[in-house]
A and B are shown apart, each in its own frame.
Chain A
Amino acid sequence: MALNTLWFIFIAILYSGFFVLEGFDFGVGILMPFLGKNDVQRRTIINTIGPHWDGNEVWLITAGGATFAAFPNWYATLFSGFYLPLFIVLVGLIIRGVAFEFRGKDDNPRWRSLWDWCLFAGSLIPTILLPVAFANLVRGIPIDANMEYVGGFFNLLNPYALLAALALTLLVLLHGASFLSNKTTGEIEQKSRELVRWLWLLVALMLVIFLVTSFIITGVSSRLTVWVILFPVLGVIAMLAAGYLVRKGRFGYVFLTTCLTVAFFVLTIFSLLYPNVIVSSLNPAWNLTIQNASSSAHTLRLMTIVTLIFLPIVLLYQIWSYWIFRKRLTGDVDKLTY
């Protein structure tokens, strides 16, 4: 397999990992003010993702770094072209990251509500804006002959991108709720289950609408590959399985299926994109592709070796960390950390 394609796959995997893992902790962050009626409940909810959110976020950092190393032009055009949305995402990630650590360090209710708000906003902002960015890569943005973005901020907020944001945000909420239903007890667990039941149909509908729209808007039917068919089909199957398992009350497996749903939908977006990495809406000849955006073969080989050694190690210790904290939280105040 060509190294360029391999690296496209690595980056797709890194972003899928990011959305699956950080997806549920974003979801938990957004749901926290609504499902947590008092401080103890909120702390319990935050503590379910406490040991994991930081490690999950590194998937995004690594995906960004890998894009820089393997496809410098992709990184450069994307990050400079989406300057303001990414700035807002950064602000979100900043206030969210410190909120975890700072919130519990003072009893003042105003202090706590400040960081609650930061945690909520910091979870919601990237959840909305990152799908906007990815949808625009697929749909096409004004890229000139020199690989420079020549559109404005509001070019990015087109109906298709907003549809993607809405669909993915709802999916993240479902994913977060299904995580919470497995990590809590009592009232929070009940409410999370209730939410999963309510959200499921809505999310399923939105995702199907999003998929159909994506196929129309990208004109992908003229260049169908097995992956372009396979990933959305698997995504829909995972979603249907989630619905079945919700009805059966098997919430442990529901979380597994929401993980798969998120992964397959991110992979769908990447399969729609391939072999481009950014579509130019001005001229197809100006598309950034896995060829013209990539690093040299030397660098790609080097990065392949590093990734094949270290990514499995990362997976091992991250799985270990989930294993350590596999039990449910009961909301016992003395046992809360954050």
Chain B
Amino acid sequence: MDAVLLARLQFAITIVYHFFFVPLTLGLSLVVAILETIYVFTGNELYKRMTKFWGKLFLINFAIGVVTGIVQEFQFGMSWSEYSRFVGDIFGAPLAIEALVAFFLESTFLGIWIFGWDKLSKGAHATVMWMVALGSNVSAIWILIANAFMQHPVGYTITDGRAELTNFSQVVFNLPIFSHYPHVFAAGLVTVAFFIMGISAYHIFRQNELNFFRVSFRMAALIGVFGTIMVGVIGHSQGQEINQIQPMKLASIEALFDTENPASLSIITIKNPFTGKLVIDWRIPAALSLMEYNKLSGEVIGINQLQAQYVQQYGPGDYVPPPVVLYWSFRTMVGAGLLMILISVVAFIIELRNFYGKYRWFLRLLPLAISLPYIANTTGWMVTEVGRYPWVVYGLVKMEDGVSKAVTPGMFITSLIGFILVYGLLISATVYLMIKFGKAGPAKEQDDTPDFSPSLVTPSESQ
């Protein structure tokens, strides 16, 4: 295997793994902050217990999100040093700002939150959690700004063989960020909604801590309805944006091999990889034009035409991202998304009307549905990132020009195996702890569990 493929594989595995934990961090930090704020304002102990229970699960998730994030920051230089040289003048800034502005904030304040229960006033302690939530979300914004440059480079000029920054505000207010951050934020809401609904349903089914888990469930179902619909709306406008800035990605997602006007939407398209002939190709006429232009006509350019155009523009080469991956990733994401809208709405109705007795099977399904947002999050990023093929920076740097020269395939294999082993250990431990604490439920009233107990310090006489 060559170095480029191994470097890609490693980046793909480590970033997918990292993003497995990010959306829950984004959503749950916010939920815990809200719960604690309600506790501060109402003084209702129920909300303190909710803060502590969901907060404990948050911490398990957060720890692994942090350590896998460090890998990403180092990996640009380790595996993609030529890319780093070429775009460092622009790309380094958002990463450095992320660390300075956001990562410091969330890490320092989380330490204070975990250990500060009896060191701070109630209000200050809740404010600290808001700082954590703010840090996590600002962090996501800066990382997405960096990614937006890779998707749609702006605000630069090529000087002395590298990209140099000319306009920072263009980089910050780059077009994709306006859809990517809301999309990721809403995905975080959906993830936390299904996480809380799944665990709550498990306990409601067993009549355990009914009050605690019904309040949690109601809140989560509401967040779920809001979040899933928000993702759908943003996703729709994002599709139109991709048509403008990365038409090849859109054509591959839709398996549109030749330009059409009005363009049809594929229901199912299967191509024989050996003959190159389409085995099945069921399409709805004009539906793709409708999605892209909000009317029944409008040209969508096909893969073949774009390939020819790019060869002319950028020189010979393959500019078609693997349509199979994009086509099915996209449909998996959308399918999971639609299913989640349905589940959220049903869950909300069941909770409002207290139909739990009637729909016990639904409660049994909800813990399994925790996987849905994870599936959608992962396949969504696969569409975004694999769809950038063959570019590291769209139209500017190809993958083979970005990989490190000093790193041999043997080194990549070593680190790849190492990461897989370590990440395997981590995911086992995380899932074990999540299930253990998720099933155990909240601590009994007036009884803090020792390992999450507030204070740890008492004054000492000496020195």
Chain A residues near B (Cβ < 8 Å) = 47, 50-55, 57-58, 61-62, 64-70, 72-73, 75-81, 83-84, 86-87, 90-91, 93-95, 97-98, 100-102, 104-106, 146-150, 182, 185, 189, 251-252, 295-296, 298-299, 302-303, 306-307, 310-311, 314, 317-318, 321, 324-325, 327-330, 332-338
Contacts and interface: CB of A to CB of B under 8 A. Distances in A.
A51 B114 contact: yes
Contacts of A106: 433, 436
8 contacts: A65-B95, A68-B76, A83-B79, A86-B78, A87-B78, A101-B62, A146-B405, A327-B459
B352 interface: no
Nearest to A295: B89
A295 B159 CA distance: 11
B172 to A, nearest CB: 11
B458 A335 contact: yes
A76 B82 contact: yes
Nearest to A146: B405
B459 A296 contact: no
A257 to B, nearest CB: 16
Contacts of B119: 324-325
Given A84-B415, A105-B437, A302-B93, 12 more contacts: A51-B112, A51-B116, A57-B70, A75-B77, A80-B79, A90-B74, A296-B164, A298-B166, A299-B92, A321-B109, A328-B459, A337-B452
B116 to A, nearest CB: 6
A68 B114 contact: no
B456 A336 contact: yes
B268 to A, nearest CB: 42
B275 interface: no
B462 A328 contact: yes
A72 B84 contact: yes
A53 B112 CA distance: 11
Contacts of A78: 77
B422 A91 contact: yes
B453 A334 contact: yes
Contact of B108 (A299, A317, A328): A317
B217 interface: no
Nearest to A324: B119
Contacts of A97: 63, 66-67, 70
A272 B286 CA distance: 68
A304 to B, nearest CB: 11
Contacts of A102: 60, 63, 429, 433
A185 B460 contact: yes
Nearest to B119: A324
A335 B454 CA distance: 7
A310 B101 contact: yes
A337 B456 contact: yes
Nearest to B61: A101
B232 interface: no
A185 B99 CA distance: 35
A68 B92 contact: yes
B433 A182 contact: no
Contacts of A77: 81, 406
B73 to A, nearest CB: 6
Nearest to A315: B104
Interface string B105-117: 1011111101110
B109 A51 contact: no
B90 interface: yes
Contacts of B110: 54
Contacts of A314: 100, 104-105, 108
A99 to B, nearest CB: 9
B103 A61 contact: yes
Interface in B54-90: 59-60, 62-64, 66-68, 70-71, 73-74, 76-79, 81-82, 84-85, 87-90
Contacts of A333: 450
A71 to B, nearest CB: 8
A75 B164 contact: no
A79 B81 contact: yes
B369 to A, nearest CB: 25
Contact of A296 (B67, B96, B159): B159
A105 to B, nearest CB: 5
Contact of A335 (B91, B105, B457): B457
B111 A52 contact: yes
Interface residue SS majority, chain A: helix
B120 A81 contact: no
Nearest to B66: A97
B165 interface: yes
Report the 4 A-B pairs with minimum CB-CB distance, sorted nearest first.
A72-B88, A79-B77, A69-B92, A68-B92
B118 to A, nearest CB: 9
B164 A50 contact: no
Contacts of B339: none
B462 to A, nearest CB: 6
Given A69-B96, A299-B165, A50 B115 contact: yes
A66 B415 CA distance: 25
Given A102-B433, A105-B60, A90 B71 contact: yes
Contact of B111 (A50, A64, A90, A310): A50
A148 B457 contact: no
Q: Which of A68, A296, A328 lies at the interface centre, i.e. has the most chain B CB atoms within 10 A of its CB?
A: A68
B111 A72 contact: no
B414 A84 contact: yes
Contacts of A296: 89, 159, 164-165
A333 B448 CA distance: 13
B422 A73 contact: no
A307 B100 CA distance: 8
Nearest to A89: B74
A100 B116 contact: no
Nearest to A333: B450
B59 A336 contact: no
A302 B155 CA distance: 14
Contacts of A150: 406
Contact of A65 (B81, B99, B114): B99
A299 B89 contact: yes
A83 B463 contact: no
Given A58-B107, A98-B64, A327-B459, A73 B411 contact: no
A79 B111 contact: no
Contacts of B74: 64, 79, 86, 90
B418 interface: yes
Contacts of A307: 100
B108 to A, nearest CB: 4
A51 B111 contact: yes
B111 A54 contact: yes
Given A72-B89, A101-B59, A299-B90, A55 B111 contact: yes
Contacts of A47: 115, 456
A68 B95 contact: yes
